[in-house]
C-alpha cells in the first residue's frame, strides 16, 4: 500500500486553509443584477466591494467602506457616475477619489477608497482583487460563447459553505457518480488518463451505462444511448485552469456539452464560496425538443448540484471538526490537483 494511504498529519500544511490567488479575474455578480443608478454590496474573501452602474452604464468597483467611518457605501446614493455615502455625504468617483465632503472646503478633501479593476464579459461582472498593476496583462477567462446559435446556455450559481478546493476535487473525481445514483442511473465512468502543466490539470473519462433505464435529464445531455458505450465514442474532459474549472462532453468528436465554472471565496476564512457557472448544451437537430425540455434540464442539474453542495459542505464540516486533513486519497488525479491548488494559493492567517 503506498505511503499516501497513510492519514495525513493535520499539523502539517493544510490545503483547506489556503487562500485563492487574488491575481486573477473573478466574477462577483451577473450583469443583470447591477442595475443603472444602483449600488450593490458583495464580498471577495472577506473584503467588502461595492459594484456601481452609474449614468454612463459602465460598472465600477470600490472598497465598500466609506473612508470616513467605514460604513457600507452600497447604502449610498448614485449621482451621475459618482457614489455619495449615505451617512455624511462624502462622495467618490469611479477611481475611488473623494471629490466632495459637503461641510469641508474642496481644498481639504480627505483620502479616498480603493478601486478594483472591473470588466463585464458574457453577462458577468469581473473584478481583479489582487495587485491592480497586473490586471491589464491578465486576460479574462475564455467563456462558452453564449451567442453561438448551435448551443443553448444556462447560467447558474449559489453560495456553498466550503473551501473552493472541495469543489474542484468534487468535479474532477468522476468516481463520485455514486452520489448521483438517483439522477444518473447506472453510468459508470472509466478513467482514461490525465495531463498537467504549471497551472492546469486535465483528466479524461469515458462513460458507459451499465444497467437501468436512462433518466430524461441524462438523455438530454448525453443523447439516447443504447447498450454499453465503447470508450472511443464518449469522452468527458474535466480541466482545472487555475482558478477556473471546465467540463466538456464529446460524443463521436461532437461537443454536446460544455460547462464553465468558478468558485469565488466570500468570507475571509474562505470557507464559503459563491459559484458562477455557464452550462452550454448543443441543440438537437429538432431544436424545439431542447426548448421543451429546458425546464427539466434545469431541474436535473439543480438536483445534481444540490447533492454536490450537500456533500462538500459535509467535507468542510468534518474538516472543521477534525481541525485538519485526515483523508486517505488513492486517486492520483486528486493528489495532483491538490498539489496544483496548494502551489498557486496563498497562506491564510487565522
Is residue 192 close enough to count as binding a second copy by CB under 8 A?
no
Is residue 318 close enough to count as binding a second copy by CB under 8 A?
yes
**Strand bridging mode 244-251 / 254-265:** antiparallel
Instruction: Tell me the β-bridge partners of 63.
Output: 49
Is residue 193 close enough to count as binding a second copy by CB under 8 A?
no
Is residue 71 close enough to count as binding a second copy by CB under 8 A?
yes
Is residue 336 close enough to count as binding a second copy by CB under 8 A?
no
Instruction: Report the site for a second copy in 1-20 (rule: CB under 8 A).
Output: 1, 5, 7
Among 330, 335, 339, 343, binds a second copy (CB under 8 A): 330
* Peptide bond connecting 243 to the previous residue in cis, omega within 30 degrees of 0: yes
Instruction: Report the site for a second copy in 84-123 (rule: CB under 8 A).
Output: 84, 86-89, 101-104, 108, 110-111
Lookup result for grid cell 469611479: 94
Among 30, 156, 191, 294, binds a second copy (CB under 8 A): 191
Distance CA 235, CA 193 (A): 11
Is residue 213 close enough to count as binding a second copy by CB under 8 A?
no
Lookup result for grid cell 462538500: 312
Contact yes or no for 18/342 (Cβ under 8 A): yes
Provide the mask over 273-312, with x wherever binding to a second copy is found by CB under 8 A and - wherever it is not. --------------------------------------x-
Minimal distance in Å, beta carbon 309 to a second copy?
Answer: 13
Contact yes or no for 250/235 (Cβ under 8 A): yes
Minimal distance in Å, beta carbon 212 to a second copy?
Answer: 15
Cα distances (Å, whole numbers) of residue 277 to 8, 50, 115, 120, 271 = 32, 22, 26, 15, 19
Amino acid at each position: 500500500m503506498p505511503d499516501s494511504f497513510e492519514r495525513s498529519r493535520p499539523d502539517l500544511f493544510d490545503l483547506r486553509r489556503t487562500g485563492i490567488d487574488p491575481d486573477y479575474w473573478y466574477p462577483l455578480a451577473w450583469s443583470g443584477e447591477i442595475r443603472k443608478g444602483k449600488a450593490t454590496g458583495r464580498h471577495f474573501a472577506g473584503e467588502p466591494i461595492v459594484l456601481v452602474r452609474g449614468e454612463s452604464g459602465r460598472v465600477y468597483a470600490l472598497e465598500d467602506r466609506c473612508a470616513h467611518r467605514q460604513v457600507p457605501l452600497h447604502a449610498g446614493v448614485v449621482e451621475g457616475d459618482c457614489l455619495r455615502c449615505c451617512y455624511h455625504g462624502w462622495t467618490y468617483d469611479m477611481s475611488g477619489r473623494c471629490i466632495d465632503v459637503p461641510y469641508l472646503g474642496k481644498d481639504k478633501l480627505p483620502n479616498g477608497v480603493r478601486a478594483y479593476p472591473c470588466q463585464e464579459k458574457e453577462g458577468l461582472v469581473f473584478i481583479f482583487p489582487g495587485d491592480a498593476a497586473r490586471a491589464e496583462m491578465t486576460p479574462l477567462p475564455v467563456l462558452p460563447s453564449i451567442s453561438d446559435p448551435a448551443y443553448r446556455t444556462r447560467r447558474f450559481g449559489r453560495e456553498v459553505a466550503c473551501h473552493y478546493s472541495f469543489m474542484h476535487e468534487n468535479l474532477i473525481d468522476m468516481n463520485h457518480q455514486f452520489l448521483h445514483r438517483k439522477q444518473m442511473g447506472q453510468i459508470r465512468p472509466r478513467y482514461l488518463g490525465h495531463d498537467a502543466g504549471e497551472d492546469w490539470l486535465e483528466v479524461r473519462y469515458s462513460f458507459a451505462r451499465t444497467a437501468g433505464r436512462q433518466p430524461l435529464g441524462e438523455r438530454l445531455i448525453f443523447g439516447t444511448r443504447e447498450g454499453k458505450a465503447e470508450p472511443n465514442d464518449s469522452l468527458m474532459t474535466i480541466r482545472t485552469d487555475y482558478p477556473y474549472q471546465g467540463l466538456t462532453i464529446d460524443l463521436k468528436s461532437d461537443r454536446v456539452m460544455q460547462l464553465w465554472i468558478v468558485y469565488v471565496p466570500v468570507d475571509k476564512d474562505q470557507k464559503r464560496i459563491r459559484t458562477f457557472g455557464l452550462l452550454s448544451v448543443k441543440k438537437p437537430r429538432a431544436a424545439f425538443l431542447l426548448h421543451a425540455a429546458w425546464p427539466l434540464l434545469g431541474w436535473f442539474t439543480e438536483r445534481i448540484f444540490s447533492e454536490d453542495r450537500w456533500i462538500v459542505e459535509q467535507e468542510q464540516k468534518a474538516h472543521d471538526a477534525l481541525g485538519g486533513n485526515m483523508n486517505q486519497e488513492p486517486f492520483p488525479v486528486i493528489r495532483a490537483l491538490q498539489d496544483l491548488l496548494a502551489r498557486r494559493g496563498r497562506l491564510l492567517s487565522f
